[in-house]
Structure 1
């Protein structure tokens, strides 16, 4: 039976950061959207609620995929890490791009209040920046060590 290589503290920290992003990605859409501003908003048409449900489910699925690949022991560690990082980033990339669509707004007018901004940025943009920073940090920390840094195996 081949010996498992020990995970360095740096790699473990990166995996934990990816896991935090994954859990936040899986849960935050429900925290942000299962209320009167989105899913329960009587002014929203049924089809808009359908797509909001799609977005919430996608966050959960991408979060689960991130966790799976971040902690997967089979296969190439570098490929697993790249998959985890990709899944972790997809939700946040799609949210950042959403404002570019015609007629898109960060908030419906009745909910566009000063408390929805941090340092002049919509709260969504701030969350995206934090998520991207955590993913980038995780990518740097969790990457497999070059062969020269790999601990020698004992026989």
Structure 2
């Protein structure tokens, strides 16, 4: 079983996977929410729009942090990658947990049945796929010899 050398570089594939998730985290909230169903929804009170904006900005911040930690030069590149994975995962983990709050729904009542992928809410499918990519990034960083990237 190979031992982990803290000074070993992080595999390029791991960094790329984290970056893909980070870009989805940066752009996804705006693609999903900067429209008439969310930020321009006239039925939403100002405070709901405030929290929607907060969520979009949080995605921007978490995605930027994930990219910064994935690509920074550090004495312990694998530890930096693990931090990048945490930043990359937080948005998607909290999105999955949001449905557990009272009165929460994946879509507004007038959009019932929309936003589904393979019969499941798109939010859950996207979260699971992106979290899977982060898991793959970790697995790649743990296994086998690595090359300088």
Corresponding position of 1:136: 135
Corresponding position of 1:87: 87
Count of aligned positions: 141
CA distance in 2 between counterparts of 1:21 and 1:86 reads 11
Matches within 5 A, 1:49-88: 49-88=49-88
Q: Please, what TM-score do these two structures have when normalized by structure 2?
A: 0.87
Q: Which runs of 5+ in 2 are unaligned?
A: 1-6
Corresponding position of 1:96: 96
Corresponding position of 1:116: 115
Moved more, 118-127 or 34-43: 118-127
Q: Which runs of 5+ in 1 are unaligned?
A: none
Q: Please, what TM-score do these two structures have when normalized by structure 1?
A: 0.84
Computed over aligned residues only, the root mean square deviation of the Cα atoms, in angstroms, reads 1.9
Aligned residues of 1:12 and 1:142 also touching (Cα < 8 A): no
Deviation at 1:73, TM superposition (A): 0.4
CA distance in 1 between counterparts of 2:119 and 2:55 reads 26
CA distance in 2 between counterparts of 1:56 and 1:66 reads 15
Detail structure 1 runs of 4+ shifted over 6 Å in the superposition: none
Structure with bigger gyration radius: 1
